[in-house]
Amino acid sequence: MRLSRRKVLAAASAAAVGAGVLAAAALPTQAWAAGPESTYIVLAPNGQSTARAAGRVAAAGGTIVANYSQIGVLVVRSTNPAFTTAVSGSGVDAVASTAGLGTALDDGATVEVAEPAAQQATGDPTGEPLFGLQWDMTQISVPQAHKVTIGSPNVVVGVLDSGISSTHPDLATQIAKDKSASCIGGVVDTSEAAWNPTTSDHGTHVAGTIAASINGIGVAGVAPGVKVASVKVVNDDGYIYPEAAVCGFLWAADHGMRVTNNSYYIDPWEFNCRNDVRQRPVWTAVQRAIRYSQNKGVLNVASAGNSNVDLQHKFVDSGSPNDGSFPVEDRTITGACIDLPAEAPGVVTVSAVGPTRAKSYYSSYGQGVVDVTAPGGDARFRTRGASSTAADAVLSTTFNTVTKTNGWGYKQGTSMAGPHAAGVAALALSAHPDMQPGALASFLERTADALPCPSGVYNPVPLLQGYEATCSGGNRNGFYGAGEINAYNVVR
């Protein structure tokens, strides 16, 4: 069975970034029959104040729940069925409803492992009880890197995901609680309960790969000396909406995070088309948020996706929308359509490899799109697709959302590859603290281990349908970008 695409997360909360949550403006006399409340993104002209847009929102019967004046974006709720038309005019560059624009986060199945017996902490990752099962850490030279540095606590990685369990024994000391928040609904809630997981352990698994503590209890992270911040952008239904992503990027930027990990795409449409009248405002708002974060010194890392799609030569999208808002349709994809945030300028895009350092059968790819690759797991290559071998996936921290218990388990996907790259970026910043995002991205590429294209049509799982792929390029190619990230090379 084909794996689901990258899961996209969703949003709602209470306390805002920038100008913050505004008091509801006094509404004019209602001249319409109220409909269901909907959420909208309203854009002021680029570089201009949101004041005029805010006035139009009030006149159109909308309530501003977050004013991101830094980038000219308002998050608005309204029961006016004609709000999009009513708010348009001078001071408003574009407006779009976000209804139906959430995409489900692809957790993938979690295969849990038995709780290990605690051991004496040695300060060496290889001494952790479950390190022997972490083939991924050995593959990217983490033990050698840790002899130089385990990372600096001054480096904080924002995990834009489904929340991090603050009680997990491998993570409790690793979370920057003062920088953690929920962005559900496009506004901020800093209460600990709000940024903990509720229905998904995806963010907990990602956080463990980045920074699980060397404490003699479970697994070791790539950079156990750094901190992670939980920036929750996934709602209880497992969706991420554009307003949550915008909030997350700005929250991370304004709270001193140097790296963010983004294992999702935005929109129920796998590819967001700038020439689509409804999707363009979403693309513009997210792009403004990403650019703002980069200008504040943040390197954003994103997963390439689990659709085995050539992102350089995408022509038809046959699986969108995937949130049930409309029937799935075939769409012709042009150069105006991109995967957000993976294809946004300046974002480090990561594909996935398995234990043999070959492209994972599900990983999307693309010459000029993929920057680097990292372990994401490939549980089916040994059987040519017939069955799964859990040990070939990635082992990390988990949280059982039913029993509310912490543990450890295997997941696979480019969602697991991204945090390896984010962790290596955090180690690089620990060793080179003055490095800016552009230089850091280039450094990750220069220090990666080049991997050659396989010849001919590549398909490690011929017993499954739809996983053929062809690699293009030389030392830098569509499957692996500049190569597999190397933790030791960035700190030595």
Please give the span between the terminal C-alpha atoms of the chain, in angstroms, as a whole number.
Answer: 43
Catalytic residue check, 310: no
Catalytic annotation, pick one of 141, 162, 364, 415: 415
- One DSSP character per residue, 242-269 reads HHHHHHHHHHHHHTT-SEEEE---SSSS
Is residue 171 within 8 A of residue 213, CB to CB? The reply is yes
Q: In the structure encoding, which two tokens stand for residue 106, read together?
A: 């692809």
Tokens of 483: 């190569």
CA distance 283 to 407: 37
DSSP letters for 418-483: HHHHHHHHHHHHHHSTT--HHHHHHHHHHTSB--PPPSSEE-S-TTSSS--EE--BSSSBTTTBT-
Contact assessment for residue 199 and residue 401, using Cβ atoms and an 8 Å cutoff: yes
Neighbouring-strand partners of residue 158: 229, 260
- Between β-strands 62-68 and 94-97, what pairing exists: parallel, antiparallel or unpaired? unpaired
DSSP label at residue 282: H
Distance CA 424, CA 430 (A): 10
Task: State yes or no: is 267 an active-site residue.
Answer: no
> Distance between CA 125 and CA 352 in Å, rounded?
23
Could you tell me the two tokens for 13? Answer: 């909360």
Cβ atoms 174, 209 nearer than 8 A:
no
Active site includes 202? yes
CA pair distance 413, 373, nearest whole angstrom: 12
Which pair of structure tokens corresponds to residue 380?
Answer: 């089916």
Contact (CB, 8 A) for 146 and 124: yes
- Annotated active-site residue in 146, 168, 202, 205: 202
Give CA–CA dist 427/447, Å, rounded: 13
> Among the options 107, 161, 170, 189, which is catalytic?
161
Which residue's entry shows tokens 């549980």? 379
Backbone angles phi, psi at 407, to 5 degrees: -170, -155
Q: Are 341 and 283 in contact (CB under 8 A)?
A: no
Instruction: Look up tokens 């295997």; give the residue.
Output: 410
Interatomic CA distance for residues 309 and 306, integer angstroms: 8
Is residue 5 within 8 A of residue 48, CB to CB? The reply is no
Please spell the DSSP secondary structure of 177-197, one letter per residue.
GGG-EE-GGGS-B--HHHHS-
The catalytic residues are: 161, 202, 415
